[in-house]
Amino acid sequence: MHRISIVIPAYNEEKRIGSTLKQYSNYFEILRKKKLLKYELLVVINNTTDNTEKIVKSFQKLNKNIAYLNLIKGGKGYAVIEGFKDALKRPNTLIGFIDADMSTKPDAFHILIKNIENSDGIIASRYVKGSVVLPRNTLPRIISSRIYNILIRTLFLMPYRDTQCGAKLFRRKAIEFISDKIGMTKFAFDLEVLYKLRINGFKIREFPTVWSDKKYATINFWKAGPLMALAVIRLRIIYSPLRRFIRIYDKLIGIIPK
């Protein structure tokens, strides 16, 4: 029987974290009672300034399988890695993460669990055959996503069509390997995790998902997009013979948030 830790990074998520914890608790409690798996929901509150912690505490009283960390430093990647390290303190066999906005519903995450098979990890993808995106992406967003993916596949020679979808699941051995080896904590975090695992022989599977964009989503893609592209280029330099020139790159373009 698998024991699964689902890490949920949460930055100012008071509007959404309650619904996410309720739905994930209800769904995974059914699986636990059927003795199909054991689970924990690990909320990693990162540098929040709203009532996220208070809401998480209230749900923790209702479900003993909810835990949380409260970090001073920010950044989604940093929060996820700290969640990974904490999850490794317990006998979890599968460790993954989701976004706090419920873009990935619990049944969609369960599909990842059921289909990891012999892989070391499985990532939800919005851009492979069989995926469902609700509501459908706008044309500008589709174009920008494709450009970003082409950049990644060209620079890193990876086969994945969607490195950024916020639902990923890994076997314990992959998390043990990666938890102290990631330097990017923001725009290129997901990419570095996948690239680092891939070049070290870990097998990561991409699988279609059901994904819904939430009206309270906080990311401004047109503002973040150029920063994401610059972060990808920065990561490529770091993992190349040109890494000694990274300080020059940073000075030329300004420091990209890691």
Q: How confident is the model at residue 42 (pLDDT cuts 50, 70, 90)?
A: very high
* Residue 224 included in any domain: no
Phi, psi of 167 (to 5 degrees): -145, 110
Would you say the pTM of this structure is higher than 0.85? Answer: yes
Alpha carbons 132 and 105: distance in angstroms, whole number: 12
Pick from 19-33, 80-94, 209-223: least confident = 209-223
- Is residue 154, in this structure, part of any structural domain at all? no
pLDDT mean across residues, the chain: 90
Domain count, the chain: 1
Task: Map tokens 């490794």 to a residue.
Answer: 88
- Across the beta sheet with 204-208, the strand order is 66-71, 37-46, 2-10, 94-98, 167-171, 121-125, 204-208
How many other C-beta atoms can be found within 10 angstroms of the C-beta atom of residue 183? 12
Does pLDDT of 212 surpass 90? no
Q: Is residue 193 part of a domain?
A: yes
Predicted pLDDT at 47: 85
Residue bearing the bigger pLDDT, 219 or 86: 86
Percent pLDDT > 70 in the chain is: 93
Tens-place pLDDT, residues 45-58? 998 899 999 999 99
User: Model confidence at 221, in pLDDT bands (50, 70, 90)?
Assistant: low
Tell me which residue range forms the domain holding 64: 2-136+162-216
pLDDT band at 245 (very low <50, low <70, confident <90, very high): confident
The strand pairing partners of 208, in sequence order, are: 125
Unique residue bearing structure tokens 């995974």: 28
Q: Is residue 252 part of a domain?
A: no
Residue 242 lies in a domain: no
Q: What pLDDT is stored for residue 256 in this prediction? A: 56
Beta-bridged to residue 167, according to DSSP, are 98
pLDDT tens-digit series, residues 125-149 = 999 999 999 887 777 777 778 888 8
* Statement: residue 254 has pLDDT above 70: no
Query: Which of 85, 8, 3 shows the shortest CA–CA distance to 41?
Result: 8
Cα distance between residue 201 and residue 199, in whole Å: 6
Is pLDDT above 70 for 258?
A: no
Segments of the chain assigned E as strands = 2-10, 37-46, 66-71, 94-98, 121-125, 132-134, 167-171, 204-208, 210-212
Q: For residue 203, which phi and psi values (nearest 5 degrees)?
A: -95, 115
Find the farthest-apart pair of alpha carbons in the chain and give their distance in angstroms, rounded: 57
> Residue 220: its pLDDT value, please?
54
How confident is residue 216, by pLDDT bands cut at 50, 70 and 90? very low
Predicted confidence at residue 229, as pLDDT, reads 86
Q: pLDDT-derived band of residue 192, with 50, 70 and 90 as boundaries?
A: very high
Residue 218, pLDDT score: 46
Domain CATH code at residue 192: 3.90.550.10
**Mean pLDDT within 161-185:** 92
